[in-house]
Structure 1
Amino acid sequence: SAGNSSALYLTAAAQNLLCLKLAEELGVKIASPWVSWFKAASLPAIISLLATPYVLYKIFPPETKDTPDAPAAASERLKQMGPVTRSEWVMIGTMLLAVSLWIFGDFLGVSSVVAAMLGLSILLLLGVLNWDDCLSEKSAWDTLSWFAVLVGMAGQLTNFGIVTWMSNYVAKFLQSFSLSWPAAFGALQASYFFIHYLFASQTGHVGALYSAFLAMHLASGVPGILAALALAYNTNLFGALSHYSSGQSAVYYGAGYVELSDVFKLGFIMAMVNSIIWGVVGAIWWKFLGLY
């Protein structure tokens, strides 16, 4: 479910923004990115979100199926938490403002970076956060540092023609099999997806392979926006392949409720389920939206 929810919104995962940045490096620019992203992802993502718990319940049923005390426990916990505080209201308002600017930023002339900085500034000025809170977010600083390196590296690989050379070579190889662009699209998407077994980071995977695979798509005749978005969605979906394939997978596995063998088995099964849903529903939906 985390992979599908991350794929649903542009701002739901760090690698999503990196994907669009790298796509721009190759000349694929998506107008109104937040809206375009959400519109294209909405139908397959929502269907996958609904199907995931049902499928897992059938193939890996929980040991405890009846929890009659849960509502009372939740109600008691809410009483202990008390009413919504001022800081929480400020946080809600700031998030609504930031998301609104991400959605309508193109119309208002406000970039996504400015929207994010505005939201952070409001939280700092109103005392919801302090600078020590920001400094303690080590994963955020780590992501920021990696972004700078990966974007720069991808840009230089493109400028030196390495990505173009590689993509043209692979495109010619695929053309030798007389593959149409939809067939090449499927083969490249599957390769990009399952090669993640060799990676322990979604952001690292994007930095290493996204530009090259997008260039291969373009050289094979795949429509640019379709290729860029599909690869970006795939980047979220393969986060559940194994216990090391994403940060959230490591956390879930670390809780100790699922054996390692089950993680790999269920990860592969759900990868197939998601691939079918996104491949079938997504193809029909994207055709309706005019992406190809």
Structure 2
Amino acid sequence: MSKSLRNWIIVLAIGFVIWVCPTPQGLTPNAWHLFAVFAATIAGFILQPISMGAVAFIALTFCAITGVLKTGQALMGFGNGTIWLIVCAFFLSRAFIKTGFGRLIAFLIIKYIGRSSLTLGYSIALSELIVSPAMPSATARGGGVFYPIVQSLANAFGSQPGPTAGKIGKYLMQVGYHTDAVTCTMFLTSMAGNPLCVGLAATAVGVEITWMNWAVAAIVPGLISLFLVPVLMLKLSPPEIRDIPDARDLAVNELEKMGPMSLQEKVLAFVFVMCLALWATGSWTKLGATPVAMLAVAIMLIAKVLDWKDILSEKGAWDAMFWMGGLVALATALAKSGFIAWIAKLIGTAVAAANMGWIASFVLISLIYIYSHYCFASVTARISAMYAAFVAVAAACGVPAMLVAITFGCFANLPISLTHYGNGCGPVYFGAGYVSQGEWWRNGFIITTINVVIWLTIGMAWWKFIGLY
């Protein structure tokens, strides 16, 4: 039996067994059948009997044919703004490569910071930390701003997807993604879904979270997690290039060879700064991250920084759109079906009945809440579906209201690292092709688990110190 056939049998068996099992009390048959398709799709993403885009397309087709979803519902993920932001991020990255502007930035970074792979990792982490409070779109920040730079750094050292991925590209791609996940936790304005937590907390447990409340609570465990990411990735995905003693000389020579900036590079530099400024001021301009990214692509097309053939040939963008769009459609429909609310109620009843004390209840509910992110392709969607319910359950178990309200806001973002679809920039970093899915998921689980330990130990001590409980 071939590996592909074996994986197909496993994927279909998972879906079939769940489908034919009796519908649990409190759920509609349609919600249960949708869960069966979703579970099979996730299994298909893991085992990949065929490519992920094809798995997602088949799942949506099955839902439309069987009536589990209407055609419009099955296709709604492809109209999602975040999906198009991801696609535009790929195009921006293509422009960085085509014009050589990415090489310019990469060699400037190497010239001043590039003493080792670790210092490059810390340059990414520090840059994320500085930019994150002013840029609430994690997809724009990670996929649109930092991914093209990270890719250019990898290319500068001759590290491409495939045999040379291990030189340094594999390491840098994962550092970029996991630092983006950590910075999402640290500020109320570093991720678009965080302000939603503020509104839901006021409704669910009657507390008001301020920007400073959030930042003070998250700063200590957040900085520790951010500091550890580049070091942990040295152990989990060690780069072949560790020390770069001649980095400055290399960078200076390459910059001299490149000469002055071309007109296309100058246009791209303008577009890049424009995006950074508009993404950072979105709360004032009322311009969403996706329209800004679309404007960037439009300007690049008009100025011929990119042509239409570049757009059509960017296979990573279209592949990500298919599998991510399909997953978003399934996950959104699953939440609307009442399945997530049913699970939350089931867990809440069981924890309350155990009567184990508020600290143990808080830890248990936190773990369930965090690792449930395997079932979501959007942090904001998970906040919408689960935050209020889990905060209310924890508060009913005696957890101090302000503590659970703030920490569950942070914990909505902490497990972004788990999968390659954990947030919007995941498909961009993963789509670069440097890291296999198995290694990505393994490292993501380890990083997330270490972060969970940090936040539930050092974080708890810090929250006690600042008076959250």
* TM-score by shorter chain over 0.5: yes
CA contact (8 A) 1:166 1:212 kept: no
Match of 1:279 among 456, 459, 464: 456
Q: Aligned to 2:354, what secondary structure does the other structure show?
A: coil
Separation of aligned partners in 1, 2:344 and 2:385: 14
Matched, 1:290 2:457: no
Could you say which residue in structure 1 is the equivalent of 2:208? 30
Post-superposition shift, 1:169? 6.8
User: In structure 2, what is the equivalent of residue 127 of structure 1?
Assistant: none
- Give me the whole-angstrom Cα distance separating, in 1, the residues matched to 2:427 and 2:293: 23
In structure 1, give the amino acid aligned to 2:453.
I
Structure 1 counterpart of 2:162:
none
Give the equivalent residue in structure 2 for 1:16: 194
Q: Is 1:260 matched up with 2:448?
A: no
Once residues 424 and 344 of structure 2 are traced to their aligned partners in structure 1, the CA distance between those partners, rounded to angstroms, is 30
What pairs with 1:127-276 in structure 2 (closer than 5 Å)? 133=292, 136=295, 170-276=347-453
Higher Cα radius of gyration: 2
Give how far 1:69 is off. Answer: 5.4
Q: Cα offset for 1:238?
A: 0.7
Aligned to 1:71: 248
* Cα gap change, 1:208 to 1:167, in 2 (>3 Å): closer
| Structure 2 partner of 1:41 | 218
**Conserved? CA contact 1:168–1:219, under 8 Å:** no
Q: Measure the CA separation in 2 of the matches of 1:80 and 1:50.
A: 36
Residue 40 to residue 74, structure 1, CA distance change in 2 (3 Å) = farther
- Within the alignment, does 1:6 sit opposite 2:184 as a pair? yes
Alpha-carbon distance change, 135 to 40 in structure 1, aligned in 2, over 3 angstroms: same
Change in Cα spacing, 1:40 to 1:73, as seen in structure 2 (3 Å) is: farther
Partner of 1:129: none
Deviation for aligned residue 1:267: 0.7
Secondary structure of the 2:419 match is: coil
Residue deviations 1:83-134 (CA, integer Å, cap 9, x gap): 998x969x77x96xx6xxxxxxxxxxxxxx9xx22xx28xx9xxxxxxx747
How many angstroms does 1:272 deviate by? 1.1
- Call closer, same or farther: CA 1:137–1:30 in 2, change over 3 Å: farther
One-letter amino acid matched to 2:429: Y
**Residues 348 and 390 in structure 2, CA contact (< 8 A), matched pair in contact too:** no
CA 1:179–1:80 in structure 2 vs 1: closer, same or farther (change >3 Å)? farther
* Structure-2 change in CA distance of 1:15 and 1:74 (3 Å): farther
Unaligned segments of structure 1, at least 5 residues: 99-112, 125-131, 139-145, 158-162
Deviations 1:223-251 (A, max 9, x none): 11111111111111111101112112221
For 2:448 and 2:216, the matched residues in 1 are separated by: 22
Task: Give per-residue Cα distances to partners, 1:246-278, cap 9 Å, x unaligned.
Answer: 112221111111111101110111111101111
Overall identity of the aligned pairs, in %: 32
Residue 60 (structure 1) aligned to one of 231, 237, 240: 237
Normalised by the size of structure 1, how large is the TM-score?
0.70
CA contact under 8 A between 1:167 and 1:215: conserved in structure 2? no
Q: Which amino acid aligns with 2:184?
A: S
Alpha carbons of 1:71 and 1:182: their partners in 2 closer, same or farther (altered >3 Å)? same
Q: State the SS of the aligned residue for 1:12.
A: coil
Q: Distance in 1 between matches of 2:396 and 2:380?
A: 24
Inter-partner Cα distance in structure 2 for 1:24 and 1:137: 37
Paired residues in the alignment total 244
Tell me the TM-score normalised to structure 2 length. Answer: 0.45
Counterpart position of 1:106: none
Change (3 A) 1:281 1:135: same
Asked whether the 8 Å contact 1:185–1:222 carries over to 2, the reply is yes
The answer as to whether partners of 2:194 and 2:409 remain within 8 angstroms in 1 is yes
Greater relative contact order (CA < 8 Å, ≥ 6 in sequence): 1
Cα separation, partners in 2 of 1:69 and 1:36, compared to 1, 3 Å: same
Q: 1:137 to 1:231 in 2, by over 3 A?
A: farther
Separation (CA, whole Å) in 2 of partners of 1:73 and 1:23? 52
Give the distance between the partners of 2:346 and 2:238, measured in 1 at CA: 47
Asked if structure 2 preserves the Cα contact closer than 8 Å seen for 1:202 and 1:246, the reply is yes
User: Does the Cα contact within 8 Å between 2:187 and 2:215 map onto a contact in 1?
Assistant: yes
